[in-house]
Amino acid sequence: MNSIRIRFSLMLVGSVLCVVILASAVMSQMILGLVEKDFRDGLTSRVAAFSNSITFRGNDAVFHLQPAPIEGKLLEAPTKLLQEAFQKSQANFDIFVKQTPDGQRWASIKMGPGWLSWPIREHAPPPEVWWGLAGWMVLITVGVIGVALTVAHQTTNQLKLLQSMAMSVGKDGVLPVLKEEGSIEIKATAQALNMMGASLKKAMDSKIRLVAAAGHDLRTPMTRMRLRAEFLNEREREEWLHDLDEMDHIADSAIQLVREETVGKGTEHVRLDELVGDVCAELTLIKMRVTIAGLDHSSVKISPLALKRALRNLIINAATHGGGAIVSLRVHDRRAVVLIDDNGPGIPEQFLASAFEPFFRADPARRQSIPGAGLGLAIAKEIVERQGGTLEIENRQPHGLRQTLSIEIDIANVSSVAA
């Protein structure tokens, strides 16, 4: 009995049966009442008609026959039916059914020298019967719809655990542990999802250990290679050291990307305009071309070290590949928007969707002249989204690239920021 299939079937069958039985009982009472009323009305009208044609003489009753059938329009169909009925009973009487001007139907039968007439009722069900039948159908329809909606609600209500699980997935991609309770199917689903979540977390942890171990293990041979490079002539030594620096940078960036994907940092209230200004000042000190085009006052709740790293990557990307970075901060629609523009060649439109992928290079030939591992945008996007923000890029006209970082402002500290 703890299976959704069995419970659904029993609930649906039982509820529909209850609705049909209830509707049939109501309809039966209505029909019985109408039949009794029709019997009473027919009996009283016939008795009244016969009483007008009878004279009592002591204990005897004398019928007063009419010289002709009642006047009115002849109704052929009921007349034929009555004549056939009398013939089957071997009673040879002439009988006619007529409709008087007032709409009443009368039957006239030839008896000896005269005619005896009496009113007859319609054989078709009265209008009340049709209204009762319509009500019966409406009651069944409404009842079945109500049962179906109730059953559907009860069934889907138990499946809300899928929605709650999807909505509560952490920023690290780990699935929450679900309670294994309810029907057989729900418990089996919860168990399967918990197993999937455990496997996913195990795979994520394994990736961290793998990348960290690879980065650590690379250090030893790279150190030996640096020592050996010292014994080479000056030209070859510079080339070797340049390649080793790039390998070292790639290893550090890969480890940093994995950490940003899996490790969450605490958040705090930060003046974003001051944070952007500090990053621009630091990069200017190392001779990077960075220009500030205006910083609106704004406060956000973030991890300052993580967001500072993301801003540094974005501004370095513009300064390095775009010939200089133009940085501005604007507050719009309760969001702080950081715009980082450059005047470089931009990124071909067909490659924009891939720009945030690890090790992306719009022009692979740049690797020879511009150092980097191609992980700056990937790391920045991971940091920004982990802080609840968004990061988008688009080409400017006629040339250049715009990187747009948007994050919700801290409403609780708006007044203090404005002050």
Model-level pTM?
0.50
188 confidence band (pLDDT: 50, 70, 90): confident
Give me the mean pLDDT over the 218-227 stretch. 79
Asked whether residue 246 carries a pLDDT value surpassing 80, the answer given is no
Q: Is there a domain that residue 90 lies in?
A: yes
| Cα-Cα end-to-end distance for the chain | 65
Percent of residues, the chain, with pLDDT higher than 70: 68
Residue 10 Cα distances to 25, 148, 186, 333, angstroms: 22, 12, 18, 54
The CA distance from 388 to 359, in Å, is 24
Asked whether residue 418 carries a pLDDT value surpassing 50, the answer given is no
17-29 pLDDT per residue, tens = 777 777 777 777 7
Asked whether residue 383 carries a pLDDT value surpassing 90, the answer given is no
Q: Is there a domain that residue 228 lies in?
A: yes
Q: Which residue has the higher pLDDT, 183 or 173?
A: 183
Give me the mean pLDDT over the 72-89 stretch. 81
Contacts of 66 (CB under 8 A, 6+ apart): 53, 108, 114, 115, 116, 117
241 in the same domain as 96: no
162 in the same domain as 19: yes
As given in the structure block, the two tokens for residue 219 are 């250090």
Helix (H, G, I), strand (E, B) or coil at 90: coil
- The count of structural domains within the chain is 4
Q: What is the pLDDT of residue 254?
A: 63
8 A C-beta contact, residue 86 and residue 107: no
Q: Is there a domain that residue 116 lies in?
A: no
Q: Is there a domain that residue 173 lies in?
A: no
358 in the same domain as 288: yes
Domain around 400: 265-418
419 confidence band (pLDDT: 50, 70, 90): very low
Asked whether residue 371 carries a pLDDT value surpassing 60, the answer given is no
96 in the same domain as 58: no
Mean pLDDT, the chain, rounded, equals 77
